[in-house]
């Protein structure tokens, strides 16, 4: 609405400000974008070019050598599969469990609803901590399985509350109409509630997916066999090897992995973020939507 | 019980409550079934580990489990509190968190203010797409990129600084004790500033335009409007976010620090979370690590509740 105010007589003063503002924002955008660009172009360079072409603004002689080296030195497929399983299969199960719980807790007449919410809040406030959680997962026999990558975070309670807020907005009359037609609660949930909540479902699904894909901790803590770890853990071992500062006490149990060239490291970085880079531009509005719903929670 | 009796008054049940027990089971039964996965999850992965914190008071042996390990009372805490390492890690954690809050809190406001002044929609959207992106990239990827940019041998940043004559010799950024915390804060700002600006952008669009119109009639310029209208109106949002960030002061970010640290910077970069991981899982000092973890959890609850109380007192808003 304020846009309408920038009427003709003031235009000249605005334009000076606009120039400075535009330059500043371009600078910010450049700082955000350049690191990605540097790695992306680097991954298409030969080792020699990546050394001589310091700033990587353009690739002079594109080559796929880096990717060839990377794919031949690491069993990428298996790491990728681990990440994919946790972030896609795990996301589907999480989404079903989260939406069911959120819907049930959004129904105002449900006896015991406040008690359940208190139990949820308690779990959000107080965490048992890394070691006890590790022991529980160990006793469940989940160490060294890909389930350990997503089952311990099956329901993100914060996401559940966001969804519950959304479900509050579905009018009871709509559901009543279906009840009069003889639909059962499950039928109503799947045929009316979920289709009416597609934006929030998409948002939460994406959050689950991105969280799991980007998670480094679980892969390193719960999976001992380095060949079974997800992509993030694989990339972690590659970069640890490249610092020249490897053998860090923090990472002593993980070990490092040799990738023969720096450009192969670029290729590994690109492969690790590829799925997110691919979906991000198209799904940005859902992410932003989710952020808005989350902030309206209070 | 009280809730069960009250239930028929609300919502759809208004005129159906008299249908009796069978109707209730039919109606609510499905809801309770829907809650089963949540209950299983809460019991196994939230409340069971909470019970597991008893190992902080045991000489825990995995083969014996929680029930057969010997009880040692507060012995583990005597170890923790007399351990210099623990205090230095606690100090690191608080310093890193406070530095992060100091810089990540105001940065999104500035970005949102700049973005809010953009008239060209296409330009605005492009900038937004680019600045939100780092939020979706993992810390390992960020660290991998940063490492290449800061490389000692021919990395672009070292080259640039040398060409500009700012430094004479390339800096070993990743292995510098002096620069490590700066790097942590800088990467944190880089990664979160765009995404955090969303909340301020929405606060800015919610400001009633008549305020600005009135100010313009009084002859207020762009910066006066910003100073006297915009900033006071987004202050509550800022305060809430600032206060709530106090609650997570003992979590300085496991993934980031784990991926970025190395033996050279451990002294200034090791935080409670990475310390617990190293002592507990790498060195198998389960009870000691669980004791540190429990300390962190308890202090965090106190901090979160305190922050929430403060938010309610000062800004009349709260999370719970």
pLDDT in tens, B87-133: 999 999 999 999 999 999 999 999 999 999 898 899 999 999 999 99
Cβ–Cβ of A134/B280 closer than 8 Å?
yes
For chain A, first and last CA: distance in Å? 26
Look at residue A254 in the predicted model and tell me its pLDDT. Answer: 40
The ipTM of this complex is: 0.87
Domain boundary among A70, A105, A121: A70
**Selected residue with higher pLDDT from B119 and B81:** B81
Please check whether residue A290 lies inside any domain of the structure. no
Q: With residue A194 as reference, give the H or E element that holds it.
A: helix A194-196
Average pLDDT score, chain B: 88
Domain count, chain A: 2
What is the per-residue pLDDT across A182-221, written as a single tens digit (0 to 9) for each?
A: 888 899 999 999 998 888 898 899 889 999 999 999 999 9
Q: B320 pLDDT band (50/70/90 cuts)?
A: low
> A150 lies in which domain range?
75-258
A7, A30: one domain: yes
- Which chain A positions have a beta carbon within 8 Å of B80's beta carbon? none
Q: Which among A126, A146, A125, A143 is positioned nearest to A134, based on CA atoms?
A: A143
Average pLDDT over residues A104-110: 88
Look at residue A63 in the predicted model and tell me its pLDDT. Answer: 93
Q: Find the range with the poorest average confidence among A149-153, A268-272, B246-250.
A: B246-250
Cβ–Cβ of B133/A32 closer than 8 Å?
yes
Domain boundary among A13, A43, A70: A70
Please check whether residue A283 lies inside any domain of the structure. no
Beta bridge partners of B70: B59
Look at residue B314 in the predicted model and tell me its pLDDT. Answer: 81
What is the per-residue pLDDT across B240-265, written as a single tens digit (0 to 9) for each?
A: 888 878 888 998 889 999 999 888 89
Average pLDDT score, chain A: 85
Please check whether residue A91 lies inside any domain of the structure. yes
Q: In whole angstroms, what is the distance from residue A85 CA to residue A154 CA?
A: 13
What is the per-residue pLDDT across B174-213, written as a single tens digit (0 to 9) for each?
A: 889 999 999 999 999 999 999 999 989 988 988 888 999 9
What is the per-residue pLDDT across A17-39, written as a single tens digit (0 to 9) for each?
A: 889 999 999 999 999 999 999 99
Q: Which among B283, B111, B253, B88 is positioned nearest to B183, based on CA atoms?
A: B253
Residue of B34, B111, B199, B254 best to disrupt the A interface, most CBs of A under 10 A: B34
Please check whether residue A272 lies inside any domain of the structure. no
Please check whether residue A294 lies inside any domain of the structure. no
Q: In whole angstroms, what is the distance from residue B293 CA to residue A33 CA?
A: 38
Q: Which among A209, A218, A203 is positioned nearest to A275, based on CA atoms?
A: A209
Closest approach of A160 to chain B, Cα-based (Å): 10
Cβ–Cβ of A247/B263 closer than 8 Å?
yes
A34, A94: one domain: no
Name the pTM for this structure: 0.87
User: How many pairs of residues across A and B have Cβ atoms under 8 Å apart?
Assistant: 317
Please check whether residue A217 lies inside any domain of the structure. yes
**Selected residue with higher pLDDT from B131 and B2:** B131
DSSP A62-128: --SHHHHHHHHHS-HHHHHHHHHIIIIIHHHHHHHHHHHHHHHHH-TT-TTHHHHHHHHHHHHH---
Q: B307 pLDDT band (50/70/90 cuts)?
A: confident
Please check whether residue A52 lies inside any domain of the structure. yes
A136, A169: one domain: yes
A30, A117: one domain: no
């Amino acid at each position: 609405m304020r846009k309408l105010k920038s009427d003709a007589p003031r235009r000249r003063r605005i334009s000076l400000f606009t120039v400075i503002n535009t330059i500043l924002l371009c600078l910010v955008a450049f700082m955000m974008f350049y690191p990605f660009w540097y790695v992306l172009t680097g991954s298409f360079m030969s080792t020699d070019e990546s050394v001589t072409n310091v700033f990587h603004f353009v690739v002079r002689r594109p080559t796929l050598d880096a990717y060839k080296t990377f794919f031949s030195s690491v069993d990428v497929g298996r790491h990728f599969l681990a990440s994919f399983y946790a972030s896609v299969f795990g996301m589907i199960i999480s989404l079903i469990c989260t939406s069911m719980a959120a819907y049930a807790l959004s129904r105002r007449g449900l006896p015991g609803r406040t008690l359940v919410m208190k139990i949820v809040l308690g779990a959000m406030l107080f965490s048992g901590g890394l070691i006890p959680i590790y022991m529980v997962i160990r006793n469940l026999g989940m160490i060294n399985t890909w389930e350990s990558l997503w089952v311990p975070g099956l329901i993100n309670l914060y996401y559940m509350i966001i969804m519950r807020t959304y479900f509050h907005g579905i009018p009871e009359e709509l559901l009543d109409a279906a009840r009069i037609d003889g639909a059962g609660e499950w039928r109503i949930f799947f045929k009316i509630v979920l289709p009416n909540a597609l934006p929030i479902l998409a948002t939460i699904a994406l959050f689950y997916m991105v969280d799991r894909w980007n998670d480094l901790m679980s892969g390193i803590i719960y999976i001992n066999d380095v060949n079974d770890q997800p992509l993030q853990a694989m990339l972690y071992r590659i970069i640890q090897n490249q610092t020249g500062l490897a053998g860090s006490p923090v990472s002593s149990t993980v070990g490092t992995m040799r990738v023969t060239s720096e450009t192969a490291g670029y290729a590994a970085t690109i492969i690790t973020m590829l799925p997110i880079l691919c979906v991000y531009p198209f799904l940005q509005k859902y992410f932003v939507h989710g952020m808005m719903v989350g902030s309206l929670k209070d | 019980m009280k809730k069960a009796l009250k239930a028929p008054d609300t919502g759809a049940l208004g005129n159906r409550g008299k249908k009796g027990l069978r109707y209730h089971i039919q109606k609510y039964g499905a809801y309770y079934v829907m809650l089963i996965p949540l209950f299983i999850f809460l019991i196994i992965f939230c409340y069971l580990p909470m019970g597991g914190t008893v190992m902080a008071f045991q000489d825990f042996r995995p083969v014996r489990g929680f029930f057969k390990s010997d009880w040692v009372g507060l012995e583990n805490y005597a170890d923790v509190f007399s351990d210099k390492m623990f205090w230095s890690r606690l100090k690191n954690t608080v310093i890193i968190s406070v530095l992060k809050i100091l810089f990540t809190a105001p940065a999104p406001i500035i970005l949102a203010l700049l973005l809010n002044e953009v008239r060209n929609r296409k330009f605005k959207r492009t900038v937004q797409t680019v600045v939100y992106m780092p939020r979706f990239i993992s810390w390992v990827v960020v660290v991998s990129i940063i490492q290449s940019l800061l490389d000692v041998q021919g990395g672009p940043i070292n080259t640039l600084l040398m060409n500009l004559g700012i430094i004479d010799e390339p800096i070993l950024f990743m292995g510098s004790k002096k620069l490590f915390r700066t790097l942590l804060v800088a990467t944190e700002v880089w990664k979160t500033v765009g995404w955090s600006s969303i909340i301020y952008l929405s606060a800015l669009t919610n400001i009633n335009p008549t305020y600005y119109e009135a100010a313009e009639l009084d002859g207020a310029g762009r910066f006066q409007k910003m100073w006297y209208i915009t900033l006071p109106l987004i202050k509550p949002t800022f305060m809430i976010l600032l206060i709530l960030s106090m609650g997570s002061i003992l979590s300085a970010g496991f993934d980031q620090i784990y991926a970025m640290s190395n033996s050279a910077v451990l002294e200034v970069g090791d935080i409670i979370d990475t310390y617990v991981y190293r002592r507990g899982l790498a060195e198998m000092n389960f009870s000691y690590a669980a004791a540190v973890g429990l300390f962190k959890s308890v202090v965090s609850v106190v901090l979160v509740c305190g922050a929430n109380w403060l938010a309610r007192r000062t800004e009349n808003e709260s999370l719970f």
